[in-house]
């Protein structure tokens, strides 16, 4: 992982069906700007419902927003693209690629299908 492009050490929550040997689609769950992955999963239960439906679920944490409240995303990383400008040198798309690489390195068999869900700033 390129810690410079991701803004430093980053974390994500991972859940997948324990009994499946088949290739599985990945559901990327992006929290809103005033929370982190754990709070998003507490409300949505994607980490239990996703694996029950045959999905690998990854819920990454954004970097703290202005004032240190919740996480934020810089998915476009363009000038004036919104709250992500708090970290204009961070490339969250690179971070998401690193998340997928990390999941594969754990031996989780991904099908190559990617689904993204989120709300507010993560939508």
Domains of the chain: 3-122 (3.40.50.1820)
pLDDT at 14 over 70: yes
Between residues 69 and 42, the one the model is more confident about: 42
Distance CA 123, CA 121 (A): 6
What is this structure's pTM? 0.85
Among 89, 99, 8, residue whose Cα is nearest residue 116? 99
């Amino acid at each position: 992982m390129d810690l410079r492009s991701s803004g430093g050490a980053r974390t994500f929550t991972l859940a997948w069906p324990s009994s499946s040997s088949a290739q599985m689609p990945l559901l990327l769950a992006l929290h809103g700007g005033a929370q982190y992955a754990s709070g998003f999963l507490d409300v949505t239960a994607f980490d239990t419902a996703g694996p029950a439906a045959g999905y690998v679920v990854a819920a990454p944490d954004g970097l703290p927003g202005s004032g240190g409240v919740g996480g934020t995303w810089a998915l476009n990383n363009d000038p004036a693209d919104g709250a992500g400008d708090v970290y204009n040198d961070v490339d969250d798309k690179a971070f998401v690629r690193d998340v997928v690489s990390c999941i594969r390195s754990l031996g989780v068999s991904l099908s190559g299908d990617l689904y993204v869900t989120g709300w507010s700033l993560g939508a």
